[in-house]
Chains A and B, each alone.
Chain A
Amino acid sequence: MLDQILIQTVNGIVTGMILALVASGLTLIFGIMDVVNFAHGELFMLGAYVGVLTLAATGNFWLALITATLLIALLGAVIHVTILRPLLGRDPLTTILATFGLSLVLQNYALWQFGPVARKIAEPFSGHFSLFYLDYPWYRLVIALLSGAIIGALWLFLKFGTYGIWIRATTQDRVMAQAMGIPVPLVLTAVFAIGSGMAAASGVLFGPLVGVTYIMGLDWILKAFIVVVVGGMGNLGGSIAASILISLLESYASLWVSPAQAVIVSFVALILTLLFRPTGLFVPTRR
């Protein structure tokens, strides 16, 4: 029993870190731009497809990871300039509808372009180590570490970089940020691009575990939204903590019920959070 719990702990943390990578892009976009990006899952999915194509062309997984991140970041910038910037200052509902529409367009584009059959991304290395009775793939630990490293780099960038200060100032007071000479429209586009790139990176990293399909974004986006709400909208640290918490809960639950049913745990956590701490579990209570 103890061994099973340990294995599930490792599993939960690994999935939690990937979820954290998806969710931190989402929460960054929400916290800074007040945009609920329903197309985030599709950016994750398109990232994975770009990974598939680059891998097929070059055979280099790491090159595929970088290409997908940069290309989807660029796509994110284009999406922001063409679709979201014109909606700036309108009712938030309009951005929800716009990104939802965009998600349908991107999904169907992927279906048309790549077909319904799942593509496979090969793991960049196939080593295993023994974890009790299991051969546990090293790759899973590496993605957890890489996700952590990407999130850590984002945090350092936000905390110390000049552009990080610009981004945080924009979050706190958009008008005043402009009055201090910060090019806010550019900052918003950059943030959307960074969030999109992070979604794409998680898509490539996670591709080897699940297979790449045009609807792979759906599961993740749903969970990422749960995590963002449970962690507190726009709160980066909270999203990471919530990702790990929810993934651990699901892992433990799957000891007793089937993994498909274990998902229920996330929704229970969501409902309980909304009932008792609607601002999020990991948000310091404000005056």
Chain B
Amino acid sequence: MVELTFIVLSVMAVSAAILALEAKEIVYGAISLMIMLMAMAGFFILLDAPFVAMFQIIVYVGAVAVLILFTVMLVRRDKWLKPPVRGLTGVGIITGLILALAFGLLLVNSNLGSVMVSSESVSFMQIGVELISEYWVALEVLALLLAASLIGALTLAKIDEGDK
């Protein structure tokens, strides 16, 4: 059962990732990016990390994907259907294949294949306690960063009255 779910999820993630980059209409690309992010949330549930999965769905599929969709609709143009640069496509495919082969061989030749699932699972409470005890500084800095990026994004995207 877990095997089947894993196979379905990985096919979904990889094909949605390819489609996100290759879809002709960029709105479809944004939607298939959403599907890929949902597949990642599925992986997190399989890996016994439901908290991270929920976080992924709320933050990514809920917020970031909607932001991307709105941006796509705002900056949409017909002349986007430019032909890709042929040389760059070739270089990209070759680099991707080399990277995949190198890391794949590295992983297959390591002994990670024999590492099995550890039996104990982690509770939500432990994550919360860890967040506010061990990593509280990082949490505060993250809150500051989110506020700063919000202000930065607002400043960047604001339309000045003098511009028009």
User: Are both chains from one complex?
Assistant: no
